[in-house]
A and B are shown apart, each in its own frame.
Chain A
Amino acid sequence: MTEAQTSDRSWLIRLWPLVPIVAALIVTSALLMLFDASPAVAYRAMWDGAFGGQDKFLSVLAFWVPLLLASAGLVVTFTAGLWNIGIEGQIILGAIGASWVALNVTGPAWVLIPLEIGAAMLGGALWAALSAVLKTRGKVNEIFSGLALNNLAIILTNYLISGPWQPPEGGSFRGTTPFQSAALLPRLFESRFSPLSLILAFAAVIAVYYVLRGTTWGLKLKALGKNPYSAYLLGVSSERETILAMMFCGALAGLGGAVRVLSWFDSLRQSISGGIGFLALLVVMLAAYRILWVPIIALFFSIVLNGSITLQLKTQLHSALGGILTGLMVLFVLLFGSAKQLGIGGKPGTAAGVPDVMPDELPAGEIPPELMASSYPEVDVEAIHE
């Protein structure tokens, strides 16, 4: 491929994450027409659900923040070649940590809120460290330990709600008593949205950007994700970096959990995370592991999911439509793979003008299947599947 061709196509690589989104919109429209529903009406209703009023839009923002935090954390673990499925549990532990402070400490907001945030980040980080240590010491794949710890976190929440933290009027199985108002994050116009949480989330995104781009640690994670054994020989301690990467992600996820209890809700609830962790996995995959795409995709997810809540009220369509749409997007990402797989552009960094500072490869292999048998050794994928 000549240089001219490469630079002509570099815009396509940059805009790549939009392709699955557009494809998913088209297929969903086709589905709607199949059921004699008008896509225009459905999307209109969705749009209204997200933007038809201040409260609705603030709700989109409030949902966006924890999703953004969890996704930013996952970019770090994916870079290190880790499938941090346990993110859901880490969010929950963050929520529990924040709730513990909110229920047990009294004081002014400027004392309580930093304490809550600290406890949440610690809770998430430790829960993640458990998964990491099980991997490095016990050789347990982080996917399995993550799934187990997710369940454990849910059980722990249920126990707390129905046991030690149950409201005085009796356990309702739904949640704890609402926290003292000093413990809650300051919210905008009676909504669930806290501007402070958005600032924290942006800080997290920027931190992840600089960690991966400018620090030795970020480079170590990148090397670890691409080839653990070579990285080891080059002097990267896989155990240390694995644990740190997981804890970094866990801390951000925990912060997300704090935002859930302290601004979306006002107490610890039964399904406190609401699947945000899994959603974040999808966001990061759709963003092709590039941090700068994460805020946009996460916002888009938040719009679609919040919008489809009103969908059911306005049309006869089920609110699951939002789920279908996001699910389809991820399916398309997995189908199309990375831009490179389609032969757009060359190797990372060779395409003119595309900076190779971000981990821009999908762990889904870039090797055409015919090659697998003779396996030309360019796989940096194995590490992730192991």
Chain B
Amino acid sequence: MQVELRDIRKYFGRVKANDGISLVLKPGKIYALVGENGAGKSTLMKILSGYQPPTSGEILLDGQPVRFHSPADALAKGVGMLYQDPLDMPPFRVIDNYLLGRSNSVRLNYKEARNELEGLSKRYGFEIDVHATIDSLSMGERQQLELVRLLAGGAQVLILDEPTTGISAEQKEILFESMRKMTREEGKTVILVSHKLEEVQELCVYAYVLRRGQLVGEQELPCLNEQLVEMMFGQVPKRSQRPPFAVREPVLELQDVNIETYQITVPDINLSVRAGEIFGLAGLEGSGQRLVMQACSGLVAPAKGRVRLGGQDVTGWSYHRLQKFGMAYVPAGRLEEGLVAGLTLTEHLVLARPDKKFFVDWKENRQEMAERITTYQIVGRPESTADQLSGGNQQRLLFSLLNTPLKLLLLEHPTRGLDVRSSDYIWQLLYKRRDHGTAILFISADLDEIIEHCDRIAVFSGGVMSRILDARETTAEELGHFIGGQV
């Protein structure tokens, strides 16, 4: 199906999220939509998928002007979208969720639905257990389920908004393969929104570049990364250097820590992270690294073993007590864990600051937030609500809420959804923290990021932690072996 967007505009008050965008997408091809954080990518795609109407402009499908009333309406007309934020679903079984999204009749036809679901999964190489409950699925599996639902709904045009943040390398390969199949064999139109230019180059044939709500360039792919980056930012941002690290005293010490959940057991973790050190935890999602991090933050109680922070035994301390003691945790989910949709940036700041007074000094807090907005380069105002920010800007907001000084900083996918320039910038800020003696422990799905930024790395596989590797002497291949469980 050929898609044409004509002079699409979307204004939110004074913000021109989309400012007259026109483009054409032909069937059988994978397109890339790239641009810096807040450029207007998600806004444009939500318009194309019927989630929100444009302020003005036209959408044409196969030359026919259309108007969508809802995402369901758009899907009925052939356009489906996988949203940027992780999907939030009720704790149903997979099959129930699927039926809920699919059938319009009163009677539920389980057998038919199951066949359909399994057939489609098989065609695209997905592995979905229809009887699992949704909350036991990994992010990648939820994504596959949602894709199947869109395909079954008759999507001819598929939009994927940053689909590869937070899924494993394996799931990413499966996803890419399915996207190729959809375009090459089935003639569907696929649009990929992504900040990872390597993926874009590997997968897409044509890129549209947005900046500040406008289309500022288009480009046949593959091309040089610099060409895309220059269009995105107006210039090629220079990569900054990583400052050297001096070994200091240990801050976080785990001693024979065992964690048990009904899904996985993480045995005997011994780990020591020093002041100013950046320590990376690699591994497939659900291999235990997140549990270790949550044990350090007090969100999960270890079944056995001791946790020490700054020399103090903090085993069994609650999250809030640790927070006051100088621990901070930046979770992976933005709007569902970490930020509150509907609260303004200033309100978030008030909640996050340690020295709370009974009456809120709104003026002072608004000023402080305005300062942090400048420091962290957030596109938004103190009185914007968190859900009005673009994905990358939500991530920056999370960082801006961190207090100083910190003994320990725990990060999950710290640069998820950030464009090249901002992730570089965030790392600069993190380096500054390490200079002040903060120990940083972080999880990332991106092996290159781990190798580039860490001092030491541990790899998790099926709950078991590998020996500790020196980041300067390891490669992505070696980490890959450990992830696969080979030692």
Q: Which residues of A contact B (CB under 8 A)?
A: 1-3, 6, 214-217, 219-220, 222-223, 226-227, 229-237, 346-350, 352, 356, 361, 368, 370-380
What 10 A-B pairs come out closest when comparing CB atoms?
A373-B101, A377-B88, A370-B72, A227-B340, A234-B351, A370-B70, A216-B356, A230-B340, A223-B340, A226-B340
Docked pose: A198 CA to B71 CA in angstroms: 51
Docked pose: A234 CA to B353 CA in angstroms: 9
28 contacts between A and B (CB under 8 A): A2-B11, A2-B55, A3-B13, A3-B14, A214-B359, A216-B356, A219-B343, A219-B351, A227-B335, A229-B336, A229-B337, A231-B351, A233-B329, A233-B331, A235-B352, A346-B13, A347-B385, A347-B387, A348-B385, A373-B72, A373-B97, A374-B146, A376-B83, A376-B88, A377-B88, A378-B335, A379-B88, A380-B342
Q: Of all chain B residues, which has the CB nearest A357?
A: B362
Chain A: minimal CB distance from B71 (Å): 6
Chain B: minimal CB distance from A277 (Å): 28
Q: Which residues of A contact B329 (CB under 8 A)?
A: 233
The reply to whether B87 and A223 form a contact with Cβ atoms under 8 Å apart is no
Given contacts A375-B88, A375-B90, 12 further A-B contacts (CB under 8 A): A214-B359, A219-B351, A346-B13, A350-B388, A356-B344, A372-B100, A373-B72, A373-B100, A374-B83, A376-B51, A379-B88, A380-B342
Q: Which residues of B contact A217 (CB under 8 A)?
A: 358
Docked pose: A233 CA to B320 CA in angstroms: 8
The count of chain B contact residues (Cβ–Cβ below 8 Å) is 56
**B12 contacts the other chain (Cβ, under 8 Å)?**
yes
The reply to whether A371 and B89 form a contact with Cβ atoms under 8 Å apart is no
Chain A: minimal CB distance from B337 (Å): 5
The reply to whether A216 and B358 form a contact with Cβ atoms under 8 Å apart is yes
The reply to whether B388 and A347 form a contact with Cβ atoms under 8 Å apart is yes
Docked pose: A220 CA to B353 CA in angstroms: 12
Chain B: minimal CB distance from A20 (Å): 23
The reply to whether B342 and A226 form a contact with Cβ atoms under 8 Å apart is yes
**B36 contacts the other chain (Cβ, under 8 Å)?**
no
Q: Which residues of A contact B352 (CB under 8 A)?
A: 234-235
Select one of B71, B323, B360, B387 contacting A215, CB under 8 A: B360
Q: Of all chain A residues, which has the CB nearest B383?
A: A349
The reply to whether B356 and A227 form a contact with Cβ atoms under 8 Å apart is no
The reply to whether B336 and A235 form a contact with Cβ atoms under 8 Å apart is no
The reply to whether B89 and A350 form a contact with Cβ atoms under 8 Å apart is no
Contacting residues of chain B (212-233) with chain A, CB-CB under 8 angstroms: none
Q: Of all chain A residues, which has the CB nearest B356?
A: A216
Question: A223 and B351 in contact (CB under 8 A), knowing A214-B359, A230-B338, A237-B320?
Answer: yes
Q: Which residues of B contact A (CB under 8 A)?
A: 11-14, 51, 55, 70-73, 83, 85-90, 97, 100-102, 146, 149, 319-320, 323, 329, 331, 335-344, 347-348, 350-352, 354, 356-360, 362, 383-385, 387-388, 401
Q: Of all chain B residues, which has the CB nearest A379?
A: B88
Select one of A215, A348, A350, A372 contacting B12, CB under 8 A: A350
Docked pose: A216 CA to B349 CA in angstroms: 11
The reply to whether B13 and A350 form a contact with Cβ atoms under 8 Å apart is yes
Chain B: minimal CB distance from A211 (Å): 10
Question: A368 and B149 in contact (CB under 8 A), knowing A219-B351, A235-B352, A349-B385?
Answer: no
Docked pose: A216 CA to B85 CA in angstroms: 29
Question: A371 and B347 in contact (CB under 8 A), knowing A227-B341, A230-B337?
Answer: no
Select one of A223, A227, A370 contacting B336, CB under 8 A: A227
Q: Of all chain B residues, which has the CB nearest A220?
A: B351
Q: Of all chain A residues, which has the CB nearest B134?
A: A375
Question: A234 and B11 in contact (CB under 8 A), knowing A348-B385, A370-B72?
Answer: no
Docked pose: A368 CA to B72 CA in angstroms: 10
The reply to whether B319 and A232 form a contact with Cβ atoms under 8 Å apart is yes
Q: Of all chain A residues, which has the CB nearest B53?
A: A1
Question: A223 and B347 in contact (CB under 8 A), knowing A350-B12, A352-B13?
Answer: yes
Docked pose: A219 CA to B88 CA in angstroms: 25
Q: Which residues of A contact B359 (CB under 8 A)?
A: 214-216
Q: Which residues of A contact B341 (CB under 8 A)?
A: 226-227, 378, 380
Docked pose: A79 CA to B73 CA in angstroms: 34
Docked pose: A346 CA to B101 CA in angstroms: 26
Select one of B12, B85, B343, B358 contacting A222, CB under 8 A: B343
Chain A: minimal CB distance from B113 (Å): 13
Chain B: minimal CB distance from A358 (Å): 12
The reply to whether B348 and A375 form a contact with Cβ atoms under 8 Å apart is no
Docked pose: A371 CA to B343 CA in angstroms: 22
Chain A: minimal CB distance from B117 (Å): 14
Docked pose: A361 CA to B357 CA in angstroms: 26
Q: Which residues of A contact B383 (CB under 8 A)?
A: 349, 356
Question: A235 and B350 in contact (CB under 8 A), knowing A347-B387, A380-B341?
Answer: no
Chain A: minimal CB distance from B223 (Å): 34
Question: A235 and B13 in contact (CB under 8 A), knowing A347-B387, A349-B344, A361-B342?
Answer: no
Q: Of all chain B residues, which has the CB nearest A368?
A: B70
The reply to whether B350 and A219 form a contact with Cβ atoms under 8 Å apart is yes
Question: A231 and B340 in contact (CB under 8 A), knowing A2-B55, A219-B350, A376-B51?
Answer: yes
Chain A: minimal CB distance from B410 (Å): 11
Chain B: minimal CB distance from A125 (Å): 19
Q: Which residues of B contact A232 (CB under 8 A)?
A: 319
Docked pose: A381 CA to B273 CA in angstroms: 40
